Structure 1
Amino acid sequence: MIPVASSNLPLTVRVGGLDFAVRASAARSTFGITIERDGDLVLRAPADAELSALVDWARARAAWVYRKLADKDRLVATPVTKQFLSGEGFDLLGRHYRLRLGDEPEVQLRDGWLRMSRESAEAGRGAEELIAWYRQEALHWLPARIEPWAAKMAARPRQLDVRDLGYRWGSLGKGERLNLHWAIMQLSPSLIDYVIVHELAHVDEPNHTTRFWAAVRRVLPDYDQRKSRLSEAGTSLWIPASVRRIHD
């Protein structure tokens, strides 16, 4: 989103030793911070916002940004790599399965083994096909998992999309579209529940305000423990090309 012509905000600003690009939009009514995949920081603001108010808001969140950048550096520095050979391990819903190469036409979980075509693995298509399988499993499994949480929170997303979200587990897109990272299917169901609840809470509250966390706590009283466990679990997930995530 490019700065609009009517905005008096600068294109960049330095706050608390951090350099931010500024993106102003007439469509926004609140401030926001985005940490891009390459580590660049973006401050998003209403077009008519005062610079002093934006700087004060960002300064109050500088410690949070430093923590997230530290998490990102830690996760990127220790990517999990996998070889597409028989015996390699992959996770689904918190359970560990060994890979077995054979003549299967497509990836499938059968008889306790994660099965894949030897031809695909040897041709270098293993990662691509496994990601497609995780996505397919997610689209099959997630709707029934989301439904009871959506009912409890009176926050029903209108659409579900499962894809690569970079450093984020999930996001709430335009039209209340719930976006979830395909890699969450490696997590245990209790941690996936936290991701779901977190994103559903954004239906009524786009920012991480006291009201937002209260909505999360109402349905997940132990959300803080789950959030901590999720942060640790993220370091052990397989996400190719060193694409790691940090949750906002």
Structure 2
Amino acid sequence: MPLPAVLAPAEFRHPQANREIRLGDATVAFALQRARRRSIGFTVGADGLSVRAPRWVTLAGVDAAVREKQDWILRKLTDAQARRARQEDGRIRWADGGTLPYLGAPLALRLDPAHRFAGRGAALAPDAATGQPALHLALPHHATEAQIRDLVHAWLMREARRHFTERLDHFAPLLGVRWTALRLSGAQTRWGSAKADGSIRLNWRLMHYGPALIDYVVAHELAHLRVMDHSPRFWDTVAEVVPDYARLRAALRDQPAPLWE
């Protein structure tokens, strides 16, 4: 009977790490930045742990503060690592026959050098082999991954603007608000934002998710035009048009968008 494999100690290393500490069985290399602030701040993102500390705090003091937040830091780093692994599993293959999630369902990519479809550069059309909708790209079969990715991105941006505008126009009257401008974002950590002047920013990566999740984010940002914080009154406003927002919010948090690199 073979002996069980010995698990390697966990290691979390920020790309810009300039300090390292041992937290339990884990090694955490974090990015320390000195800043004009009153207290030490901690951020855990896709890259790892970042710490911002006042200039007067000693390195020993920084380490002590990190150890004090050990449980929270390790939990967040583990969650971020698992999220990154799920993203890697869903990495898009930029080639004929590759797929990407579109409105919550897999969409096949088809290179179509003859441009046998209506539209600019890329368009949805039935797949000759399956009869299912596929994204046809006016590119030669020897197109590079970068060419395919760029053309898909341009098409997805157009689709995002069309779809988001449609949903903003649907929810705004229901909430009694008026939006004035839509801007698209490609941020890795934020799905949207709203300003008091009625301008809305939405992440084009939302187009990977099902319509219900997109509707939740759209309603969330429009609700901020009535309530600019996240108080109970704000969530009551969201619930007026998306009663199951809590379930959708959790689902969005648990389903990372695929990597495009």
Q: TM-score, normalised by structure 2?
A: 0.64
Q: Which has the larger radius of gyration?
A: 2
Which residue in 1 is equivalent to 2:111?
101
CA shift, 1:231, in A, is 2.1
Which residue in 2 is equivalent to 1:11?
37
- Residue 179 of structure 2 contacts residue 200 of structure 2 at CA under 8 Å; is this kept in 1? yes
2: CA distance between counterparts of 1:96 and 1:131?
16
2:123 pairs with 1:115: no
Structure 1: gaps of 5 or more residues: 1-8, 21-33, 43-62, 242-248
Residues 108-163 of structure 1 deviation map (CA, whole Å, 9 limit, x = unaligned): 21112211213684262222221111110111222122112111111222101122
Which residue in 2 is equivalent to 1:75?
83
Which residue in 1 is equivalent to 2:202?
180
Residues 24-46 of structure 1 deviation map (CA, whole Å, 9 limit, x = unaligned): xxxxxxxxxx877756478xxxx
Which residue in 2 is equivalent to 1:56?
none
Taking the TM superposition and a 5 Å limit, the aligned residue runs for 1:1-248 are: 10-14=36-40, 19-20=41-42, 38=47, 40=50, 71-79=79-87, 80-103=90-113, 104=115, 106-111=121-126, 112-116=133-137, 117-118=139-140, 121-122=143-144, 124-173=146-195, 175-232=197-254, 234-235=255-256, 237-241=257-261
CA shift, 1:96, in A, is 2.0
Partner amino acid, structure 2, of 1:158: T
Structure 2: gaps of 5 or more residues: 1-34, 53-70, 127-132
Change (3 A) 1:129 1:166: same
Change (3 A) 1:12 1:67: farther
2: CA distance between counterparts of 1:195 and 1:202?
11
Change (3 A) 1:149 1:201: same
1: CA distance between counterparts of 2:177 and 2:189?
24
2: CA distance between counterparts of 1:201 and 1:100?
39
- Residue 131 of structure 1 contacts residue 182 of structure 1 at CA under 8 Å; is this kept in 2? no
CA shift, 1:68, in A, is 6.5
2: CA distance between counterparts of 1:189 and 1:83?
23
2: CA distance between counterparts of 1:204 and 1:183?
25
Is the partner of 1:91 in helix, strand or coil? strand
Partner amino acid, structure 2, of 1:78: R
Change (3 A) 1:130 1:168: same
The percentage of counterpart residues that share the same residue type is 28
CA shift, 1:176, in A, is 2.5
- Residue 95 of structure 2 contacts residue 148 of structure 2 at CA under 8 Å; is this kept in 1? no
2: CA distance between counterparts of 1:212 and 1:66?
31
Is the partner of 1:216 in helix, strand or coil? helix
CA shift, 1:204, in A, is 2.4
Deviating above 4 A after TM superposition, structure 1's stretches of 4 or more consecutive aligned residues are: 34-42, 63-71
Change (3 A) 1:65 1:202: farther
2: CA distance between counterparts of 1:67 and 1:154?
40
Change (3 A) 1:161 1:239: farther
| Greater Cα shift, 187-196 or 173-182 | 173-182
Residues 59-112 of structure 1 deviation map (CA, whole Å, 9 limit, x = unaligned): xxxx99987666444323432312222221122222322111121371221112
